[in-house]
Amino acid sequence: MNRQKKIKQLLKAHAKKASAKLAPAKAKYISKADRLKIEAEAGQEPNTAAES
């Protein structure tokens, strides 16, 4: 029984890793401060283009 349990556990782990590889990649985490900085930069770009 113990041997069967270990084999099942290994097979489950391999299947989980294989399905994780096929899954689409998660978006990389961006901190709140970085998001605010990106928004501020995006907000400034149209203003500088309009002034030119």
Range of the domain at 28: 2-51
Which pLDDT value is given to residue 38?
93
Determine the Cα–Cα distance for residues 23 and 7; give it in Å rounded to an integer: 24
- Strand, helix or coil at 41? helix
Which pLDDT value is given to residue 45?
72
Give the global pTM: 0.46
Residue for token digits 């489950």? 12
**In this structure, what token pair is assigned to residue 30?**
């961006």
CA geometry: angle 6, 25, 13, nearest 5 deg: 0
Which pLDDT value is given to residue 27?
87
Determine the Cα–Cα distance for residues 21 and 9; give it in Å rounded to an integer: 19
Instruction: Render pLDDT for 16-41 as a digit per residue (tens, 0 to 9).
Output: 999 999 988 888 999 999 999 999 99
How many independent structural domains does the chain possess?
Answer: 1
**In this structure, what token pair is assigned to residue 1?**
């029984």
